[in-house]
Every structure is written in C-alpha cells, then in structure tokens.
C-alpha cells in the first residue's frame, strides 16, 4: 500500500502551518524537540498547543522569540495599514494571543516608523547550511532542509539580481524561519512519506510593506518559486498574503504530484493553524492517503501513443504500398489507409499511423520523404491496454503461439469486481503454419485451436 501526503492549501501555506499540520498527522513531537535543541540557535522557545480556528481543532506550532528577535507579523494593522481604514479590514478570526512568526520579510506600516527596532540576522545561505550541519538531524531531514533553503536562496537571488553565494536572507535567515524550515523537514522525514500531492496554492491580493518597500502579493520570492517550480497559484478575492516564501519553498521541495489519485482511502487528517486573522481561516489541512499500486487497482495499464494523420490525393497505390512497409519497418504500431473524398471532389486516402514517442520523428520524416504530403497532423492519446504475455500452448493439432491477457470480471450490475479471467488468442502466423502442416481449412483449425485454448485458460484460471 502506497502512502501519499496531500496538502490542501485552501488558505495558503506557511512554515508554522505546515509544521502544525504534520504534527497533527502524527509526527513525533519528542523527535522534533530533540532535533531542534541540537541546532546552535538561541533566543527562542517552541510551544505546541491546540487552538480553535473557525470552530475546528487545530495544532498550533509557535516559535516564541525573545525581545531581541521578536517581530510583529501577527499585527494585521501593522502589516497592511488597516488602522487608517477599518472598512477594508478582513473579517477577523478569534485571536489566541500567539505571535505570527512565519512571514519571511520585515514589515513596516505604510507612512509610519517601525513600531520597534528589532535585530534581524542577515545570514547568507552558507551560514544557514552551517547551522543545519551542526545539528543532530537525520540524513533525510538535513537534505530536505538544505533543499528548502536552497530554493529560497535561488528565489531571493533572482529577486535581488545577485548570485546564490552572495544573497543574504532577511527574515528567512532569522531564528524563527530557520526553526520553521528545520521543523518541517524533521516532521516530514519522521512521517516517512516521500510522495506529496499539492494541486494548487491559494493566494490573496493587495500589497505588503517590507524592508524593500511596498511589494505586490504574491511577493517576488513567492512568484519566483512558483514560476521556477511550476506551482499553480489561485488568486482569491481576499486581501492579504496567504502564501509565504517559506511555505512556497516547502511546497516546491516536496511536491511530486499535481493531481490526486483516482481512488484512495484517508488514513489520517491533520490541521495546522496559522496566526493571522484574515478573511479565510488560516488552516492548512494535511492528509495521508493510502493508495493501492496501480497494477492492483485495475487489470489494465495506462499508456500513451501518438496518432499521425495526413490526407493524400496524388499518390499511387504502388507508392502507398511501399510507404506502409517502410512505416512498419521503422517501428509503427499500426498503419491504416481509409478512402476519403477530398477538396475539388478528388478521391484520396487518409493515412493514419500509430506510434510511440521514440519513433514519432522518424515516422514523420518517412511520410514527408516517401509521400507527396506537405503537412502531418499529430495528437497524443491516452489508452488503456490489457496486460499480456506471449506463450506457446499445446493443442490437438500441435503447438500454437498465443497471447494471454487478463480480462476484467464485472458484477451483474456492471461494476468492477477486482477479479479477472484469462483469455488466450492464437497468433495468425502460427495458425497459418498449422493449416499448411495439417492440410485443414482455416475455419477447421480455428475452431479446434480456440477450443483447446479455452480449456487451457480454464486450467490456469
């Protein structure tokens, strides 16, 4: 049974929301505390508690900083200047008195001085990686934390027009952000899940005032990460920043799939609380999905194949005969000619070629070279194919080469039962050989062989 992590980012994603959700899923709190205590960082304490968000019980992960490192990211008036226009303020959630620490830039209310003068470490990527290397982290947790910070570093470097070696983090290099990222990596490693589905990140609108001035939402680091790692964004009609650079970097680092499996069972559900009081409740829902391997879900396999098509009205039958031979020799899975009525009332031929990606360009070149076409249509198609194997079956007339396939069994209501039955199909070349050797007609050989194959399939079933 395969296990997959699903992050439902309806209210965005941040570092502390991620850690809270993973702890709620069952990540070991003591393992996390031990790993964080091993990092050469001071000036903070970690508090893990239960809080209510929109009436839902959530896990709250809080990095409480001392006065030297504190920021005021939880203050919505401070972030967005709502004190000047209360009508624009988003509907408020209940407040639990927790400082919001996961925002990754230094905020300052528009038109005012900062509320406090804070000390924010401006560490480079190398400084952060040195801190991680000195901690007692598992190899998996360490590598994931390094990956997340590297993604952040690349985004910051792009935003500021510098190199990865020269970029200096602002709040990302501060204690709370380092703890958030290390904690997320430790929890993910502890859960032992290596596949993650993250279909979309919901983001807000507007702007925030940061150390670099007023920035649009999504902020440049988030936009850069989303572009570089193909993270789909959905902009909600709510003011405020819902996706932080730390959250985006975590999503980019762990996302392996963009779509949920067709069927799954929910093994666990975890809710992680954010600290901001915005229109959308700041909740990240994480789920552990249990999925049967695809080969156990259905008796057929999913596959893709290319279809090439062209219409011809000025090619001879002799030329088309050679074309078909050459197409098959070059790897075409199938070649079909169908009569069509073309423009100017000309009778012509529709040539259809089925092939795999590896042969597509070669077969297109053959069509251009060997026919009079000047254009080829192509489309990639999904298909379902029964699992098959080739075998030799003994019959009353002698050995016959056959294909064995597993056909799904349906219930009387037409639903899949999960069971299969075996069918055997004789190969045409082998049938011809039997006809030649025995002197019997095709129909006589066909009926005899089909009966023998059906009995052989019954024995195997």
> Strands 56-65 and 44-53: what pairing?
antiparallel
In CATH terms, 300-385 corresponds, of 3.40.50.300, 3.30.70.1380, 3.10.620.30, 3.40.710.10, to 3.30.70.1380
Helix (H/G/I), strand (E/B), else coil: 57: strand
pLDDT of 235 higher than 80: yes
Q: What is the mean pLDDT of residues 253-275?
A: 92
Please name which of 171, 137, 160 lies closest in space to residue 37, comparing C-alpha atoms. Answer: 137
- Residue length of the chain: 461
CA-CA distance, 153 to 252, in Å (whole number)?
13
CA-CA distance, 35 to 56, in Å (whole number)?
29
pLDDT given for residue 417 in this prediction: 81
Q: What is the mean pLDDT of the chain?
A: 85
Q: How many Cβ atoms sit within 10 Å of the Cβ of residue 15? A: 32
Summarised one tens digit per residue, pLDDT across range 313-352 is 999 999 999 999 999 999 999 999 999 999 999 999 999 9
Location of each CATH 3.30.70.1380 domain in the chain: 300-385
pLDDT given for residue 259 in this prediction: 86
pLDDT given for residue 70 in this prediction: 61
pLDDT given for residue 71 in this prediction: 56
The three state secondary structure string of 348-388 is EEEEEEEECHHHHHHHHHHHHHHCCCCCCEEEEEEEEEECE
Q: Distance of CA 181 to CAs 104, 201, 237, Å?
A: 12, 18, 29
Read off φ and ψ for residue 82, nearest 5 degrees. -70, -20
Summarised one tens digit per residue, pLDDT across range 214-225 is 889 999 999 999
pLDDT given for residue 115 in this prediction: 34
Stretch among 4-18, 156-170, 288-302 having the lowest mean pLDDT? 288-302
**What's the DSSP call for residue 42?**
-
Helix (H/G/I), strand (E/B), else coil: 135: coil
Q: How many Cβ atoms sit within 10 Å of the Cβ of residue 207? A: 17
Considering the entire predicted model, what is its pTM? 0.60
Summarised one tens digit per residue, pLDDT across range 74-120 is 444 434 444 333 333 333 333 333 334 443 343 332 332 333 334 44
CA-CA distance, 180 to 193, in Å (whole number)?
19
Stretch among 72-81, 171-180, 200-209 having the lowest mean pLDDT? 72-81
CA-CA distance, 322 to 371, in Å (whole number)?
10
pLDDT given for residue 91 in this prediction: 36
Confidence of residue 420 (pLDDT cuts 50, 70, 90): confident
């Amino acid at each position: 049974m395969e296990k997959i992590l699903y992050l439902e980012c309806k209210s965005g994603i941040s570092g502390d929301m991620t850690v809270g959700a993973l702890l709620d899923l069952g990540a070991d709190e003591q393992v996390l505390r031990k790993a964080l205590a091993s990092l050469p960082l001071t000036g903070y304490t970690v508090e893990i508690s239960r809080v209510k968000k929109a009436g839902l019980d959530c896990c709250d992960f809080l990095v409480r900083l001392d006065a030297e490192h504190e920021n005021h990211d939880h203050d919505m008036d401070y972030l967005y200047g709502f004190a000047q226009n209360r009508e624009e303020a988003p509907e408020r959630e209940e407040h639990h008195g927790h400082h919001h620490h996961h925002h990754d830039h230094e905020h300052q209310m528009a038109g005012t001085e900062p509320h406090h003068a804070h000390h924010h470490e401006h560490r480079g990527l190398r400084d952060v990686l040195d801190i991680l290397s000195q901690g007692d982290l598992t190899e998996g947790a360490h590598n994931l934390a390094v990956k997340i910070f590297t993604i952040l570093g690349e985004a910051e470097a792009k935003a500021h027009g510098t190199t990865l070696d020269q970029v200096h983090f602002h709040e990302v290099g501060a204690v709370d952000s380092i703890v958030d990222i290390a904690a997320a990596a430790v929890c993910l490693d502890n859960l032992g899940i290596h596949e993650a589905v993250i279909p979309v990140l919901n983001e807000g609108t507007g702007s925030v005032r940061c150390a670099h001035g007023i920035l649009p939402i999504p902020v440049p680091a988030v936009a850069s990460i989303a572009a570089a790692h193909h993270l789909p964004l959905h902009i909600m009609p709510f003011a405020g920043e819902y996706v932080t650079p730390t959250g985006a970097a975590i999503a980019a680092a762990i996302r392996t799939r963009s779509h949920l499996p067709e069927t799954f069972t929910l093994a666990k559900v975890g809710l992680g609380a954010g600290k901001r009081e915005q229109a959308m409740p700041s909740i990240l829902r994480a789920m552990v999905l249990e999925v049967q391997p695809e080969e156990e879900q259905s008796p057929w396999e999913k596959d893709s194949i290319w279809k090439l098509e062209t219409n011809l009205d000025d090619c001879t039958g002799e030329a088309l005969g050679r074309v078909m031979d050459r197409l098959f020799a070059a790897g075409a899975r199938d070649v079909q000619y169908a009569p069509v009525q073309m423009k100017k009332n000309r009778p012509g031929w529709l040539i259809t070629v089925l092939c795999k990606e590896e042969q597509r360009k070669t077969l297109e070149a053959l069509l251009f070279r060997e026919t009079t076409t000047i254009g080829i249509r192509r489309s990639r198609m999904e298909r379902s194919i029964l699992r098959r194997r080739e075998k030799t079956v003994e019959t009353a007339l002698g050995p016959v080469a056959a294909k064995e396939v597993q056909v799904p069994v349906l219930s009387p209501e037409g639903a899949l039962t999960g069971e299969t039955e075996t069918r055997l199909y004789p190969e045409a070349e082998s049938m011809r050989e039997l006809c030649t050797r025995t002197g019997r007609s095709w129909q006589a050989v066909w009926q005899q062989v089909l009966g023998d194959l059906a009995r052989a399939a019954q024995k195997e079933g």
